[in-house]
Amino acid sequence: MINLAAMKTVKNPLLVTGSVAYDTVETPNGISKRQVGGSASYASIAASYFCKPSLIGIIGEDFTEKQIFETHQIDLSGLQSQSGKTFFWHGKYKNDFKERDTITTELNVFEHFLPSLLPSHQKIEAILLANIHPALQLHTINQIVNPKFIATDTMNLWIETARDNLEKLTKKIHLLIINDEEAEQWTNETNLRKAANILLEKGPEFVIIKLGPDGALLFDNHQERKISAFPVNEVVDPTGAGDTFAGGMMGFLAATSQFDFESIYTAMKYGSSLASFCVEQFGLKKLVGLDANSIHRRVNRIF
Ligand code: AMP
């Protein structure tokens, strides 16, 4: 069994960039207003169970919840604070949780955000570009001195509206994380092995295609492997599950400093275990305050 406590004392760094947000989320189980969200929030908290994340992002003067990150020993020296409001997103799920409508996206302080990395951040070798405009993801990695492993998450919006930047970005990364619908949207291919081949040709060495409650697939040019998802009793709020999966997985990889196919396959189980906790409560409620044993117990039930 991998010793999470030992990993935490090693404290390998992971650079995480993405959104820090206030979210209003409506699900068949109720509504949660202005909960802390954002791709980088979920990802960095998940990663913090294994490594020392440095969070690169921006908040407005209305953001009063920095202690959530501080409690998880996340480095906030790259979190800019500006006058104006924090990014705001409002989403509403349909009955089966499979479909989600975006009701509002207010960029607010994100509108003029340009990530500027401190010299200490530029030297970090493991990087997770959580979901954010691909131009900002590109701007971030262009400042990294000697990247060893860059993983990127994205969303349907950017595949539709920022394809050029996304294609420039994929040339420079090692791992692309995407869900099945996005893979199909990007490649016009419903066969996921074929879709993965098209995406691999764009540059990354590995592609992960997430399948929601059915787990996730890992591809490289020679092989593919599937993991299941942990069967939760009740999904309350799936927001951020993908970001949590990516953060947990990259946190684990950064901690072990191994970035080969087998290591990614193992790391996916840790990401999936954390994502299963995430969906059991609104927002970050269940994701904060976990312990190593509970994370392991679920990893052992993912195949
Ligand atoms: P997910 O459920 O994995 O798609 O992630 C949901 C999170 O993404 C929410 O907490 C939102 O704040 C954040 N989000 C939604 N739209 C965007 C966007 N356009 N750019 C960056 N983050 C976003």
Domains and CATH numbers, the chain: 4-290 (3.40.1190.20)
Ligand 1: which atom is nearest the Cα of residue 41?
Answer: 10
Tell which residue, 184, 193, 129, has the closest CA to residue 160: 184
Strand 126-129 to 13-17 pairing: parallel
Name 276's Cβ contacts closer than 8 Å, sequence gap at least 6: 229, 230, 232, 298
Tell which residue, 105, 108, 174, 112, has the closest CA to residue 139: 112
Encode pLDDT of 19-78 as tens digits.
999 999 999 989 999 999 999 999 999 999 999 999 999 999 999 999 999 999 999 999
Is pLDDT of 191 > 60?
Answer: yes
| Centre of ligand 1 from the C-alpha of residue 20, in Å | 9
Report helix angle 261-278 to 241-256, nearest 10.
140
Q: Which of 42, 155, 235 to mutate to test the pocket of ligand 1 (most atoms within 8 A of CB)?
A: 155
Contact 210, 242 (CB under 8 A): yes
Paired residues of 234 in beta bridges: none
Q: Which residues line ligand 1 (CB under 6 A)?
A: 19, 21, 23, 37-39, 89, 105, 131-132, 157, 239-243
| Centre of ligand 1 from the C-alpha of residue 22, in Å | 10
| Centre of ligand 1 from the C-alpha of residue 5, in Å | 30
Q: What pTM was estimated for this model as a whole? A: 0.97
What is the C-alpha separation between 69 and 250, in angstroms, rounded? Answer: 17
Q: Which of 36, 44, 89 to mutate to test the pocket of ligand 1 (most atoms within 8 A of CB)?
A: 89
Encode pLDDT of 242-289 as tens digits.
999 999 999 999 999 999 999 999 999 999 999 999 999 999 999 998
Q: Whose CA is nearest to atom 16 of ligand 1?
A: 89
Burial category of 149 from C-beta neighbours within 10 Å (exposed 0-12, middle 13-18, buried 19 and up): buried
Ligand 1: which atom is nearest the Cα of residue 37?
Answer: 10
Per DSSP, the three-state class of 9 is helix
What is the C-alpha separation between 110 and 169, in angstroms, rounded? Answer: 20
Contact 181, 157 (CB under 8 A): no
Element (H, E) at 55: strand 52-60
Task: Give percent above pLDDT 90 in the chain.
Answer: 94
Paired residues of 139 in beta bridges: none
Diameter over CA atoms, the chain: 50
